[in-house]
Amino acid sequence: MSQTIIKTNKNMYNLRFSINAHCEAEEILGVPITQLGERAGMSTFRTLLFVGLKHGGNQVPMEKAGDIMEEIIQDKGMEYFSEQIGAAISKGLVQQTSQNFNQQHNKKKI
């Protein structure tokens, strides 16, 4: 599964939203990611970053995810941050959908 890179002026982080990442985020948030919409606040974004970082190979505590989020927003802005989080989530959903489609259509017929 591919990753999305999110950058600050000094650092670069990998985000990945596999099915397990989506499920973990939904369990923490208590709502499906696809239903967040405009209800997403700062703690929601921090949780999404935390989970994306974790599944991207950057296991950090939730508080550190908040520090990274602050660094990204200070260096690149909230719009960049939210676009990268959205791109990572979308990429995960699209890739999982494609894999499921390929698996279903590549089964050998008996």
Task: Tell whether 10 is covered by a domain.
Answer: yes
The more confident residue out of 22 and 107 is 22
Per-residue model confidence as pLDDT tens digits over 73-89: 999 999 999 999 999 99
Task: Tell whether 39 is covered by a domain.
Answer: yes
pLDDT of residue 41: 87
Domain count, the chain: 1
Six-digit token string for 8? 């600050």
pLDDT of residue 24: 95
Instruction: Please enumerate, as own/partner, the contacts of 66-75 that have beta carbons within 8 Å and a separation of 24 or more.
Output: 68/8, 68/11, 68/13, 69/45, 71/8, 71/10, 71/11, 72/6, 72/7, 72/8, 74/8, 75/7, 75/8, 75/9, 75/10
The reported pTM is: 0.81
Per-residue model confidence as pLDDT tens digits over 27-61: 999 988 888 877 778 999 999 999 999 999 999 99
Task: Tell whether 110 is covered by a domain.
Answer: no
Domain containing residue 37: 4-105
Is the pLDDT reported for residue 104 higher than 70? no
Q: Using CA atoms, how far apart are residues 12 and 33, in angstroms rounded to an integer?
A: 24
